[in-house]
Structures are given as structure tokens and as C-alpha cells.
Structure 1
Amino acid sequence: MTLRSMFHYGAIASLVALILLSLAWELVLAPLRPGGSFLALKAVVLLLPLMGILKGRVYTYQWSSMFILAFFAEGVMRGWSDSGLSQKLAWAEIALTTLFFACVVLWVRNERIVRARAAR
């Protein structure tokens, strides 16, 4: 397995895990209101970059690296202000967004190197 494919699969895995975490968090594990909350809709927003990430589109990788920072900020705020299980889930969100960001940045960097070598 090449570095490029490791970063690609890491980005996919962390994004899918973040979608599942968001749904579980807001619907079952620690919702703001009993029975779930509308914050579960944030998982729908995470679906926006999924197809481009799956297909390895450079443009999607580039904009999603900035897009994911909103979820990182949410995780930091809820990790700081919440308590109990919700706080632990916020730390998991921070870890997954950090992993996604690192994989995306490293994949784009590696992709540029591969394309530069192919152009020679």
C-alpha cells in the first residue's frame, strides 16, 4: 500500500466515522434533548465532500480541509463546555477531524508530487 492510498483511505475512514459519530451522538448517545436533536443534521453536511473524497478529486480534498475546521471548532467548544459522555464524544470528534485534516493535506501534497513526476 502506497502512502497516497493510505492517506486516501484514512480520509475516507475518518470522514465516515465522523458522520456515524455525529448521528449516534445527537440521536442516541448524548442528545441535547431526549429523543434526539436537530443537531443530527450536521451529519448531512458532512455528506457534501464524501463523493469527491471517495473519487479522489483534488478540488474536494482542498476545500474539505477548510470545511472540516468548523467541526473541529464545534468539538473544541463542546469538549470545553460539556461534561460526561458528551465531552468524551467531543474529544472523539476532535480526534477524527484532526485525522481527516492530516490525511487530506498529506494526500494533496503527495498528489502534487505524483503529478509533477508524471509531467516530466
Structure 2
Amino acid sequence: MTWLIASHIPLAPRTRRYLRLGQAGFLSLFLLIPAWVLWLDPPELGSSRVLLALLWGPLWLPMMGILRGKAYTFAWANFIVMIYFVHSLTHLWISSGTTFYLALAELAAACLMFAGCTYYAKYRGQELGLKIPKLKDDPVRQ
């Protein structure tokens, strides 16, 4: 029953700021990836559609939870954003020209999303009274 009440707890200004930061990073990645793969710098080898599916597909998984502000989604979306950290850092290392700047934009968006998701999940979880029990407080593990 607490999950019904928890959704009606208002957001603190700090929490709302991180919500917007995470959403901005997510939407930036969501728009950048297809633009990059299909128009701005399509791959020279292989299929653009396959690359698009591999890079854009994972962003569809947390979309509804991120747009709705679900703290749990923000917490696990950080695992997905690691794909874009690795992708952008790899391109920053090996590329030049247009690809370098696209990778820089991808890295910036991934950093925004990572910071926003991390702190939104933390602060919203605190507002909702959620916490991970410590091992010393768990009577089963003692």
C-alpha cells in the first residue's frame, strides 16, 4: 500500500534538478544515436540498421520509467549508460573529425544521464523512505 502513497510525495527542488538532468542526458542520447548512425556519420562497413539496433535498442528499455520519473528505473538505467561511455571513449581514442565531435557529444550526454540517474535515484529513494539494509542490521545474515 505504501507504493500508492509514495508516488504522491512531492519532489524536493534538488531531486527535481537531478530528475531533469537524467532525463536531459537520456533524451540527448536517444536523439544523438540515430542521427549519428543514419545521417551524420554512417558506418563505412556493415549495416547502419544493425548498428542502430545495437546502439539505440538498449535506450528503449528504460524509456517509460525515465520519462515518468521512476526512481528504480533511474537506478538500473546506469548499467545501460555504460554502453555509451565505452562507445564514446573508444571513438574518442581512435577517431578524428566529425566522429570525434559526435563521440564527445555522446560522452557529455552519457555523463549527464549517469549523474542525473545516480543522484535522482538516491534522493528520491530517501524521500520515499527506501533503503538497502546493511548486513549488520540483517538478523538472517548474522
Range of TM-score over shorter length: 0.7 to 0.9
Q: Secondary structure at the match of 2:84?
A: helix
Larger radius of gyration between Structure 1 and Structure 2: 2
Distance 2:73 2:115 in 1: 15
Distance 1:68 1:112 in 2: 20
Distance 1:57 1:92 in 2: 26
* Structure 2 gap segments, 5+ residues each: 1-11, 130-142
1:2 equivalent in structure 2: 13
2:34 equivalent in structure 1: 23
Distance 1:50 1:7 in 2: 16
TM-score, normalisation: structure 1: 0.87
The one-character-per-residue Cα deviations of 1:26-76 (angstroms, maximum 9, x if unpaired) are 111111139x71322222321111101112222211111121111111100
Letter of the 1:24 partner, please give it: A
Q: Is the 8 A contact 2:15 2:123 kept in 1?
A: yes
TM-score, normalisation: structure 2: 0.74
Q: Is 2:40 the partner of 1:40?
A: no
Q: Secondary structure at the match of 2:66?
A: helix
1:63 to 71, 76, 86: 76
Q: Is the 8 A contact 2:89 2:107 kept in 1?
A: yes
Q: CA deviation at 1:113?
A: 2.4
List 4+ stretches of structure 1 deviating above 4 A: none
* Structure 1 gap segments, 5+ residues each: none
